[in-house]
Amino acid sequence: MTVTEDAAAVAPAKEVGQPRRRKEDARLITGRTTWTDNMVLPGMLHLAVVRSPVAHARITAVDVSAAQQAPNVVAVFTGRDLAEEQGSIPCAWPVTPDMVNPGHPSIAVDQVNHVGEAVAIVVGRSKAAATDAVELVDVDYDLLPPVLDLEEAVADGSGLVHDQLASNTSYHFVFDAGDAGTGADTEQAFADAEVVVSRRFVQQRLIPAFMEPRSVVVQPQGENYTMWSATQVPHVLRVMAAMVTGIPEHKLRVIAPDVGGGFGGKLQVNPEEILCLLLARRLGKPVKWTETRSESLMAAHHGRGQVQFIDIASDRQGNVKGLRVRLLADMGAYLRLITPGVPALGAFMFPGIYKFPAYRFECDGVFTNKVPTDAYRGAGRPEATFAVERIMDELAVELGMDPLELRRKNWIQADEFPFTTVAGLEYDSGDYEQATREALELLGYDELRAEQKRRRESGDPVQLGIGFSTFTEMCGLAPSRVLGSLSYGAGGWESASIRMLPTGKVEVVTGSTPHGQGHETAWSQLVADQLGVPFEDVEVLHGDTAISPRGMDTYGSRSLVVGGTAVVKAAEKVVAKARKVAAHLLEASEDDLEFADGKFAVRGTPGATVGIQEIALAVFAAHNYPEDIEPSIDAEATFDPVNFSFPHGTHLCAMEVDTDTGMVKIRKYACVDDVGTIVNPLIVEGQIHGGLAQGIAQALYEEAVYDADGNLTTGSFVDYLVPTAADLPHFDTATTVHAAPGNPIGAKGVGEAGCIASTPAVVNAALDAVRHLGVSDILMPLTPERVWRAIRTGGDGGARATAGTNAYGGAQTESTAGVATPASELGGDR
Amino acid sequence: MIPAPFAYERPTTVDEALQAIAAGGEDVKILAGGQSLIPVMRLRLAAPETVVDLTRVTELRGVREEGDVLVIGAMTTHHDVITDPLIAQHAPLIAEATETVADRQVRHRGTFGGALAHADPAGDLPAVALALDAEFVLAGPNGRRTVGASDFFVDYLTTALEEGELLVEIRVPKLTGSWGVRYEKFNRVAQAWSIVAVAAAVRRENGHIAEARIGLTNMGPTPLRARATEAALAGAAVTAEAIADAARSAAEGTSPSSDLNAQADYREHLAQVLTRRAVSAAAGL
């Protein structure tokens, strides 16, 4: 932006665009705040959950007598004790009318369907007392064969996860562009195509691994209940918990205090949240439950988990003609809040940034004896982006084309926006060529290509590869009408209100509940500009249904786009209300007033001004205000977007592969993202970095591994490898800005970009390094062993051994403690 | 996770520690730096009756010389090992390997003796102690005895320490002559245990390799020596070819496990590659 007006030199700098340090960080980083587990209430009891050590079994007996006798144990409950009142964990997204939902008990009654499922709850006077008694609960299991593999689960003759159902398939969801009228006939496109490339990709299961474990406190007060929970979605949770437990919604207050991360993993109505409510009601005492890290890895929902069959059609010149996607999506044992919807959300993103004339998507949601899947950073879109960016590389190889040239040939041009895709989405704005050009420069593309050539020619044991990911995603979830058309059980609007305090300070109430994103800072910047008040004069209130009664919370890169817009709209209403008071106080016509930098001024009358903060005091005193208004300039607004927003970017990864050991190492990573107008560049940079770390982690490090018995062998951070800064490269990042036309801020959303874009760039880079050695695919995560095997013997690197490492004494899952079954006798001495 | 209840003793001398161990009942665990014991107790994989905490036994800390031998107190922390001038001079392989152990916080609490007594085959220090022919001094109710490294490591997480005994110091022969050393560690993320690692010490004489000692980490239930490679290297020329030839037998006699980081055949391959690299570096190539 070029500043040309002289006036800009004297006006206060705009807050939007400033790299403000986050106002919440000091208290979050130093722990001077209330995390849920810090809550201590008089008479509070502590819950510890006895969890199933087996993946699939009938419960034949539960003996709690020894646990009941243990010191400082108040009570022990089994599933049978709570069967009549526990209802079912809700699923808000029946993606097809005939979707099969077997129901999801919070605590197992007759049958367990995954390792880690709750089978009993010990209530103790201290956490230690409850934990000690867990080992005294004796459960007898009659083992059933576990259903673990997606492809086997849908094969004829497979055992059933739920034997009352006809199959393991929950639903069959289809989007066909030909039927929808957004594209040509897909079968015909493939029949006519000169080139068809088909691949099977696997999206491994991932664990959200948020920093703060889940924690719940419930306080009963007569008929009323207050729940504190480390949740992303206090508003959604309140509605759902009321419906499940029968506690009337107006008698239930839900508070998400400061929450330490979620990544979708806390977008849930958790069994433990329901159990805390039920037991607080039963006992009439406050209760607390806080999970251990092992419980979190085992029992909180996982993400991803898909087998993808992708076909792409093109002509010999590389003009794409069609895309066909068939998915098997792992639901796990039950349907949680949006379990079935995650792959369906991805359905619309498989075409990526390319102009496919024909497209068909089919997905089977499949039950397995594993913990349910649900939202995880990107939720459907990383899976889609991975598939299309990987298959474009495969097509380029088949055609003998440069992968970037193939992309260029097919992507939407800058002058074609708004562009309606074959999936029926209207992409709002962007310039893929510009982002790509800048990313190539950031990476030093030509030099690295030259080095790659040298290494290849000299037969260097360390080979170099470069991978592309030219991605887009749909953010700003979501237009309520679109959600309705997809059978989602709620809207996608957001609410905000602004309270002008007598001293001129400002309280902003937002329905977007942060869990580490920096809403308090960004919202303050928005309001400072809108109202012309100092950044420091703004306080942002959130996360308490009594303070912020309306909201749809934080997920899907929606907060700034939808929630931020609601804040801006509320601020516009405040200014409009204040204008009437200003006109009255200045004895001028409203039409003659100008509002700038927090002051109303009478046009052409120097010195006749009144500040909006003064007006706040004036309406508080209410001694002198217009007769036809109420004495308040507070306002609220609800914003429901008309369209999604579509951030995009080009991510480039240069990867070194040690062909002797299979070790891969990112040499350089460059990305240029377009997330629309940037409110706070520091927050945007942080979101990109964190997203990249998680996306790279899917490519290289993380996988929830189950053994043949259905035990989670990545049951601690010894085996579930979350990379740290020490394992990641420097990131060269930059942005282009094409404002989103769908909201007044112009923001598109940045929360998931890095996570969605990076995974295929990393895998494409590794493959580019070793493709000349006969390697065309490697399963994620790209462990050194898999890379080595792929180089040595071809294939995709193959299955890993499932056993956890013996380091640490073989600490795998703690679920087996106190419960002895043949299947639970893993390694380690227990 | 909260550990199961246990009794706790914190002696200040070795004698007091031995008494506490003797009086501690059936299942006594000795707490050195706690970097392995506390996590397994929190996971309730271990539930000792008594924990004897050695952190106040100051006589067990520090490094001293006794003629041709370096004596390292069992309670010397990894951090103190890394920064100790005597170790830097006479046993640099120990310092190099210790720098790769876990992360900075762990290295400030974890101890040399604790890591050896824990005898985790994926731990880095047992293979180094084995390669350097270290001796272990064990104190017990009936006095002290000394056990060589090859006899100390008995099985997975099992050493020659008898009930009632305490590892008090480790005696490491100084490397004299023109030795080069190298610890080659292979893992997936920075703070993780070794998938495989190789500790090599190579003495050069008259342009040839006079002697090589090679310790293997995580190639079996105990640390191992790559004896076949050592034999092949004795008297070999200092060339890439000779070292590569010798390294091909590095996995002979090993019995590595299969887990989600590596199956056994891949570990055997890694042992060969890492041995070649470690010996090459130690030989100055």
* Residues B259 and B160 grouped into a single domain: no
**Beta carbons of A784 and B120 less than 8 Å apart:** no
Looking at chain A, which residue has its C-alpha nearest residue B120? Answer: A807
How many contacts, defined by CB atoms under 8 Å, are there between A and B? 110
* Residues B103 and B167 grouped into a single domain: yes
Looking at chain A, which residue has its C-alpha nearest residue B47? Answer: A830
Q: Is residue B1 one of the residues assigned to a domain? A: no
Tokens (6 digits) for A405: 């040239």
Contact status, residue A672 vs residue A761, Cβ threshold 8 Å: no
Distance CA B49, CA B55 (A): 19
Cβ neighbours of residue A697 under 8 Å, at least 6 residues apart? A206, A721, A722, A723, A781
**Beta carbons of A719 and B123 less than 8 Å apart:** no
Nearest to B45 among A719, A806, A809 (CB): A809
Q: Is residue B39 one of the residues assigned to a domain? A: yes
Contact status, residue B231 vs residue B214, Cβ threshold 8 Å: no
* Residues B105 and B186 grouped into a single domain: no
The pLDDT of residue A827: 29
DSSP state of A51: E
pLDDT along chain A (830 residues), means of 10: 46 89 94 93 98 97 97 98 97 97 98 98 97 95 97 97 98 98 98 98 98 98 97 98 98 97 98 98 98 96 98 98 98 98 96 98 98 97 98 98 98 98 97 98 98 98 98 94 93 97 98 96 98 98 97 94 98 98 97 97 94 97 95 98 97 98 98 98 98 98 96 93 96 98 96 96 98 97 98 93 77 38 32
* Residues B167 and B255 grouped into a single domain: no
**Closest CA relative to residue B225, chosen from B258, B200, B242:** B200
Interface check B244 vs A, CB under 8 A: no
CA angle B246, B251, B256 (to 5 degrees): 165
Of B133, B154, B173, which closes a domain? B173
Contact status, residue A422 vs residue A324, Cβ threshold 8 Å: no
Nearest to A726 among B190, B193, B274 (CB): B190
CATH number of the domain encompassing residue B32 = 3.30.43.10
* Residues B71 and B40 grouped into a single domain: no
Q: Over the stretch A188-240, which tens digit does the pLDDT of each residue have? A: 999 999 999 999 999 999 999 999 999 999 999 999 999 999 999 999 999 99
> Among A696, A805, A829, which would you mutate to test the B interface (most chain B Cβ atoms within 10 Å of its Cβ)?
A805
Contact status, residue A357 vs residue A184, Cβ threshold 8 Å: yes
Distance CA A398, CA A318 (A): 10
Cβ neighbours of residue A675 under 8 Å, at least 6 residues apart? A647, A684, A735, A747, A748, A749, A750, A753
Interface check B23 vs A, CB under 8 A: no
Of B173, B207, B242, which closes a domain? B173
SS3 per-residue string spanning A277-340: HHHHHHHCCCEEEECCHHHHHHHCCEEEEEEEEEEEEECCCCCEEEEEEEEEEEEECCCCCCCC
> Among A806, A824, A829, which would you mutate to test the B interface (most chain B Cβ atoms within 10 Å of its Cβ)?
A806
Tokens 């909260």 sit at which residue? B2
The pLDDT of residue B44: 85
**Beta carbons of B193 and A785 less than 8 Å apart:** no
How many domains would you assign to chain B?
Answer: 3
CA distance B154 to chain A (A): 16
DSSP state of A139: E
E strand or H helix that includes residue A599: strand A599-602
* Residues B107 and B160 grouped into a single domain: yes
Q: Which residues of B touch A714 (CB under 8 A)?
A: 260
SS3 content of chain B, % helix, strand, coil (to 5): 35, 30, 40
* Residues B66 and B169 grouped into a single domain: yes
CATH number of the domain encompassing residue B238 = 3.30.390.50
Q: Which residues of A touch B189 (CB under 8 A)?
A: 701, 721-724, 726-727
Q: Is residue B2 one of the residues assigned to a domain? A: no
* Residues B102 and B148 grouped into a single domain: yes
**How many Cβ atoms from other residues are within 10 Å of residue A614's Cβ?**
17
Nearest to A727 among B45, B189, B263 (CB): B189
Looking at chain B, which residue has its C-alpha nearest residue A665? Answer: B188
Mean pLDDT of B61-78: 98
CA distance B121 to chain A (A): 7
**Closest CA relative to residue B261, chosen from A662, A517, A597:** A662
Tokens 């099969």 sit at which residue? A100
Q: Is residue B119 one of the residues assigned to a domain? A: yes
**Closest CA relative to residue B141, chosen from B58, B19, B52:** B19
* Residues B221 and B243 grouped into a single domain: yes
CATH number of the domain encompassing residue B152 = 3.30.465.10
SS3 A608: coil
**Beta carbons of B263 and A785 less than 8 Å apart:** yes
Contact residues, B window 38-67, toward A, CB-based 8 Å cutoff:
39-40, 43-46
* Residues B169 and B222 grouped into a single domain: no
Residue B183, domain extent: 179-282
CA distance A719 to chain B (A): 8
Q: Which domains does chain A have, with CATH numbers?
A: 7-32+493-639 (3.30.365.10), 430-473+647-801 (3.30.365.10)
> Among A660, A663, A786, which would you mutate to test the B interface (most chain B Cβ atoms within 10 Å of its Cβ)?
A660
> Among B260, B268, B270, B273, which would you mutate to test the A interface (most chain A Cβ atoms within 10 Å of its Cβ)?
B260
Torsions phi, psi of A731, nearest 5?
Answer: -105, 125
When pLDDT is cut at 50, 70 and 90, the band that residue B2 belongs to is confident
Q: Over the stretch B76-109, which tens digit does the pLDDT of each residue have? A: 999 999 999 999 999 999 999 999 999 999 999 9
Looking at chain A, which residue has its C-alpha nearest residue B276? Answer: A660
Query: How far apart, in Å, do the first and last CA atoms of chain A sit?
Result: 65
Distance CA A122, CA B151 (A): 47
* Residues B156 and B128 grouped into a single domain: yes
E strand or H helix that includes residue B265: helix B264-282
* Residues B165 and B205 grouped into a single domain: no
Mean pLDDT of B178-194: 95
Nearest to B257 among A663, A806, A817 (CB): A806
Average pLDDT, chain B: 96
Of B130, B154, B173, which closes a domain? B173
Whether the CA torsion A660, A664, A667, A671 is positive or negative: it is positive
